[in-house]
A = this chain, B = another copy of it.
């Protein structure tokens, strides 16, 4: 998708927390500088996911920020989302692309160079690579090898979004390795001032990109 800015992808789940509504949280992270949002509700019903995505889209669309739904292509289509992100346990990329059509963003997780190459061949628009660091969201998943992002960078032309355990203190690592952006979940979860945190993350990303 030409022009999609993946610098700061914020993943939204049920635990956005601290008395903020979904709409308030969405508005705040966008005003802080989020460039892309992903709705990821694990173990939620389709109806719950659709309702949540609809709330997020209601805020994000008028502000021009794309919203991607995790895993479910059918929910993404029903919500009128901008795209879908499929992990390795989700539908194959080739099917996500076929069902989503050519206009929708299709992101794919890739845990190896081969998976990244395949995702590109199958029609993905970007790859998510991680966990870069040990993540509180998935504590039992081993981080990727430290040279995986550079290796994928050499192999494919698609944008790379680094994910997993990324904070303001370590985001320069994947960015300097060639990632185009980072995905954030834990660093913003239950955070009192998501707008400010997003804004500091955004600033650090820009700094890291400059070198």
A contact set with B: CB distance below 8 Å: 43, 45-48, 50, 71-75, 77-78, 86, 88-92, 95-96, 98-99
Contacts and interface: CB of A to CB of B under 8 A. Distances in A.
Contacts of A91: 46-47, 50, 74-75, 78
Contacts of A77: 95, 99
A189 B147 CA distance: 48
B99 A78 contact: yes
Contacts of A99: 74, 77-78
Interface of A (DSSP majority class): helix
A48 B89 contact: yes
Given A72-B74, A78-B95, A89 B43 contact: no
A98 B86 CA distance: 22
A205 to B, nearest CB: 31
A92 B79 CA distance: 11
B78 A47 contact: no
10 closest A-B pairs by CB: A45-B89, A73-B74, A74-B74, A78-B95, A46-B90, A46-B91, A47-B89, A74-B99, A78-B91, A77-B99
A78 to B, nearest CB: 4
B95 A47 contact: no
Contacts of A89: 45-48
Contacts of A78: 91-92, 95, 98-99
A12 B92 CA distance: 23
A75 B90 CA distance: 9
A45 B75 contact: no
Contact of A45 (B74, B90, B96): B90
Contacts of A92: 47, 50, 78
A46 B75 contact: no
Given A46-B72, A46-B89, 7 more contacts: A46-B71, A47-B91, A50-B91, A50-B92, A50-B95, A72-B72, A75-B91
